[in-house]
Copies of this chain bind each other. A is one copy, B any other.
Amino acid sequence: MKGYLWTGGHGSPSNPDAPVIEGRLAPWEAIAVDAVGNVIEFWGFKRNQGRVWALLYLRGEPLTAGEIERELDLSKGGVSMLLRDLERWGVIQRVRLPQDTVWRYGAETDLVRMVRHVIEEREAGFVARIRADLSEARRLAEVAGTVPSERLERLEKMATLAEHVERALRLFIKTSRLDVSGVLAVFRDGASRRNER
């Protein structure tokens, strides 16, 4: 609703009653784009990061920031930041067509990389931190000398629990990495194997 681009130049200036022409996005596209946005949000990212990727992927050809802004009804600044994130994670590519002066952005096929990347990063710093905290707690408790051994034991068990959770998380990351190969295969060989499920 609030981008300002379409208020000026390119719209249908003939009809002042039609307030907004934003929705060039077809209904089916809107649904698909939002579905991806929801998934991605579920995984701890910004909803609009998923929507941008989905739009670029569905269109198949690189779009400009302005087009994305209009199609998804986002602000100029927002699009800039979203694109930067996506590019940094390697899930979109910035390209400049030969005789063209503006940047365009195209989707890489594996969105999963994005999920993996950030999950991994998070996990790294995070789990390390937790472990450090728990050892510190253990150290303090031992130094104090006044802590009943039975409680110390519980503390140690808690650390073990953390390790188990960590292991499950690692496994998950590894799994989804494996899974990518399947996904990429699907993406690579044309339309051959749809509906295989």
Residues of A with Cβ closer than 8 Å to B? 1, 26-29, 31-32, 34-36, 38-39, 42, 54, 57-60, 111-112, 115, 122, 126, 129-130, 133-134, 136-141, 144, 147, 150-151, 153-165, 167-168, 171-172, 175-176, 179, 182-183, 186-187, 190-191, 194-195, 197
Q: Are B157 and A29 closer than 8 Å at their CB atoms?
A: no
Taking a contact as CB atoms closer than 8 A, the residue among B31, B126, B155, B159 that contacts A140 in the complex is B31
In the bound assembly, the distance between CA atoms of A58 and B157 in angstroms comes to 10
Q: Are A168 and B179 closer than 8 Å at their CB atoms?
A: yes
Q: Which residues of B contact A59 (CB under 8 A)?
A: 151
Q: Are A32 and B161 closer than 8 Å at their CB atoms?
A: no
Q: Are A29 and B137 closer than 8 Å at their CB atoms?
A: yes
Q: Are B60 and A130 closer than 8 Å at their CB atoms?
A: no
In the bound assembly, the distance between CA atoms of A136 and B30 in angstroms comes to 11
- Copies held by the complex: 2
Q: Which residues of B contact A35 (CB under 8 A)?
A: 130, 133-134, 137, 162
Q: Which residues of B contact A39 (CB under 8 A)?
A: 130, 162, 165
In the bound assembly, the distance between CA atoms of A195 and B162 in angstroms comes to 12
In the bound assembly, the distance between CA atoms of A187 and B156 in angstroms comes to 10
Q: Can you list the 10 inter-chain pairs with the closest CB atoms, starting with the nearest?
A: A28-B140, A35-B133, A28-B141, A32-B137, A31-B137, A172-B172, A28-B137, A168-B176, A164-B183, A168-B179
Q: Which residues of B contact A28 (CB under 8 A)?
A: 136-141, 144, 147, 155
Q: Are B182 and A129 closer than 8 Å at their CB atoms?
A: no
In the bound assembly, the distance between CA atoms of A193 and B93 in angstroms comes to 49
Taking a contact as CB atoms closer than 8 A, the residue among B129, B158, B168, B179 that contacts A164 in the complex is B179
- Given A29-B137, A151-B60, are A160 and B183 also a contact pair (CB < 8 Å)? yes
